Amino acid sequence: MPRSHQSRKFDLWGVPFDGGSTLGWPGSRYAPGRIRDALRWITQRIEDGAIYSLETDSVHEVGDDLLRDRGDVDVVGHDIEATLDACSASVAESLRDGRTPIVIGGDDSVLFPVARGVHDALPGRIGVIHFDAHLDLLDHNRFQGRLSQSSGMRRSLELGRLNADDCIQVAVRHFNFPSSAQFKRKSGLPHITAREFQALGPVSAVEQILDRVSGADHIFLSFDIDAIDPAFAPGAGAHEPGGLTSGEALEAVRLLAPHCDALAVTEVNPLTDDRTSTTATLAAYLLFHFAVFGSGADRR
């Protein structure tokens, strides 16, 4: 059952930072601005505090303050730790104000500070639903250090009230580090591959995901855009064929939104996107689906 999230309101934070992009293509620092441009095209359809969803044939009474843009966190371009600290503080601020944070990366080093912000602000067990082509379980190496785009899930699992029993990874595929496999198996962290997700379909896959994290008191949904196939999301930090379709991703976020306390969308890269900003537009729809269907707003 959905958690008790009545009439939720959301804060939008940008993290224009790609200093953790030690592999793949940098450029995700430009994503927050491009996604905001796409979001304006969507939100102009809010009329008298209501928005109509064609998929559900329902009008959602979201009010005039559904999604408040808080601007960008205090990025320090030469200092990844200071930047991640600022991200955690912003996430925690929104939660303590009774609002739900939505964070636009930036590269996927953002995963860890958002998880830490949720952990700092909310009591009890914290779970993570991690959509990503990659495991992000790297501990350390000389090329990437400890806080790169490849380490976010590993660092998150070191937080005191966040452990693998309340987490799952979704849409992973192809190849990864053997050391990550060793850590994954030892910790008991499960995954659903992209192929498995597609065989199940979004409804059954989400049922399995929610069953896995059912013991958590609060859940953070982390969505790396490369969980989606590059045919649908070419503007990513890395291309891994065989991912989810845009429709599958949107449906999954719609179904998960009522259960989650924070969202991050990361690794959108305008420098590799097409000229019509297909990927940035998809990211804007993902976060807007999260806000509308997670709002608990009345329907008619």
Over residues 228-238, the pLDDT tens digits come to 999 999 999 99
pLDDT-wise least confident of 5-9, 36-40, 46-50, 245-249: 5-9
* Number of folded domains that form the chain: 1
pTM: 0.96
| Rounded percentage of the chain residues whose pLDDT exceeds 90 | 92
Residue 21 within a domain: yes
The answer to whether residues 117 and 87 touch, using CB atoms and an 8 Å cutoff, is: yes
Q: Is the pLDDT of residue 142 over 80?
A: no
Sorting pLDDT into bands at 50, 70 and 90, what band is 1? very low
| Of 39, 42, 24, 30, the residue nearest 230 (C-alpha) | 24
Residue 288 within a domain: yes
Residue 218 within a domain: yes
C-alpha to C-alpha distance for 299 and 138, rounded to whole angstroms: 44
Residue 3 within a domain: no
- Transcribe the chain into DSSP letters: -----TT--EEEEEE---TT--SS---GGGHHHHHHHHHHHHHTT-BTTEEEETTTTEEEE--S-SEEEEEE----TT-HHHHHHHHHHHHHHHHHTT-EEEEEESSGGGHHHHHHHHHHHS-S-EEEEEE-SS------BTTTBTSSTTSHHHHHTTSTTEEEEEEEEEEE-S---HHHHHHHHHHT--EEEHHHHHHH-HHHHHHHHHHHTTT-SEEEEEEEGGGB-TTT--SBSS--SS-B-HHHHHHHHHHHGGG-SEEEEE-B-TTTS-TT-HHHHHHHHHHHHHHHHHS--EE-
User: For 80-124, how does the pLDDT look when each residue is reduced to its tens digit (9 = 90+)?
Assistant: 999 999 999 999 999 999 999 999 999 999 999 999 999 999 999
Q: What is the mean pLDDT of the chain?
A: 95
| CA dihedral (104, 109, 114, 117) positive or negative | negative
C-alpha to C-alpha distance for 192 and 211, rounded to whole angstroms: 13
The answer to whether residues 91 and 2 touch, using CB atoms and an 8 Å cutoff, is: no
What CATH code is carried by the domain that includes residue 212?
Answer: 3.40.800.10
User: For 147-168, how does the pLDDT look when each residue is reduced to its tens digit (9 = 90+)?
Assistant: 888 899 999 999 999 999 999 9
For 250, the token pair is: 């949107």
Q: Is the pLDDT of residue 6 over 70?
A: no
Name the one residue in this structure whose structure tokens are 């928005």. Answer: 51
β partners of residue 224: 266
C-alpha angle 197-201-204 in degrees, rounded to nearest 5: 90
| Rounded percentage of the chain residues whose pLDDT exceeds 70 | 98
| Of 261, 265, 271, the residue nearest 286 (C-alpha) | 265
As a whole number of Å, the CA-based R_g of the chain is 17
Mean pLDDT on 275-300 = 96
User: For 45-65, how does the pLDDT look when each residue is reduced to its tens digit (9 = 90+)?
Assistant: 999 999 999 999 999 999 999
Residue 154 within a domain: yes
Sorting pLDDT into bands at 50, 70 and 90, what band is 23? confident
Q: Is the pLDDT of residue 3 over 70?
A: no
For 102, the token pair is: 């939505």
Tell me the residue range of the domain where 90 lies.
Answer: 10-295
The answer to whether residues 173 and 133 touch, using CB atoms and an 8 Å cutoff, is: yes
Distance of alpha carbon 221 from the chain centroid: 5
Residue 5 within a domain: no
Residue 300 within a domain: no
Distance of alpha carbon 30 from the chain centroid: 17
Position with higher pLDDT, 22 vs 59: 59
User: For 112-135, how does the pLDDT look when each residue is reduced to its tens digit (9 = 90+)?
Assistant: 999 999 999 999 999 999 999 999
Residue 20 within a domain: yes
